[in-house]
Amino acid sequence: MQSKDPLAHWQSTYAAKGEDEVSWFQDNPEPSLALIEEIATPSSAVIDIGAGASRLADALLQRGFSDLTVLDLSSSALAAAKARIGDSDDHITWIVADVTTWEPTRTYDVWHDRAAFHFLITEPDRKAYLARLERALKPRGHAIIATFALDGPERCSGLPVMRYDADSLARTLGAAFLSVNTRRHDHVTPWGTSQAFQFGVFRYEP
């Protein structure tokens, strides 16, 4: 686990703060949307890892995507997203799980993770994450991973993070993940500060 009690941390964070009171809030989930649309079609199965209460699922639904899975450690985060989207939407599967211990039961065309992987600051946690990624992603499917960049903040939500550039992210994922796109992105928090993100798009070539 990435800190002493991450579940308690995330549950209390989402219980205490409104959607746009957290640094990672985005009204418009870019560049994730643009990157997904470059490598997927509306029939693609997409999973958002550590999705929190992100509006990415809403935006993909609006674009006709019909096989979405939203996974997060925090049931409070998913409750907020469900309250907004409606939990009867049969195009979305909601999963409350720790991605490092989750047992995937199917495969996906796209694995998206914005600002969850970077909380895994130990080698065993990263290995456990990558094992799930390799089980859950279809061969030639794509992983989109976004972390704080090397010049980004050292902490996120008060927790320490690992920061990456394009090369170190590719090295961490390993040889089975071919880098097909990289992009830096300056995220502007709801209070106007800037956070440097590194996005990587990888094709899984097992």
Ligand X SMILES: C[S@@+](CC[C@H](N)C(=O)[O-])C[C@H]1O[C@@H](n2cnc3c(N)ncnc32)[C@H](O)[C@@H]1O
**Binding positions for ligand X, rule: CB under 6 A:** 6, 10, 24, 50-52, 54, 72-74, 77, 98-100, 114-116, 119, 156-157
For the CB of residue 55, give the shortest distance to ligand X in the complex, in Å.
8
CB-wise, 60 or 115, nearer to ligand X? 115
Query: Measured from the CB atom, is 44 or 147 closer to ligand X?
Result: 147
Give 50 or 141: the residue with its C-beta nearer to ligand X.
Answer: 50
Say how far residue 63 (Cα) sits from the centre of its chain. 19
Min separation Cβ 108 and ligand X, Å:
15
Reading phi first (left if > 0) and then psi (alpha if -120 to 50, else beta), residue 31 is in: alpha
- Give yes or no for a contact between 182 and 205, defined as CB atoms under 8 angstroms apart: no
**Residue 17 vs 203, nearer CB to ligand X:** 17
CB of 45 to ligand X, least distance (A): 18
**Positive/negative CA dihedral, 107, 202, 28, 3:** positive
Cβ–Cβ under 8 Å, residues 108 and 136: yes
Could you give the C-alpha distances from 160 to 46, 78, 95, 155, in angstroms and in order? 28, 23, 25, 4
Q: Nearest approach, Cβ of 168 to ligand X (angstroms)? A: 19
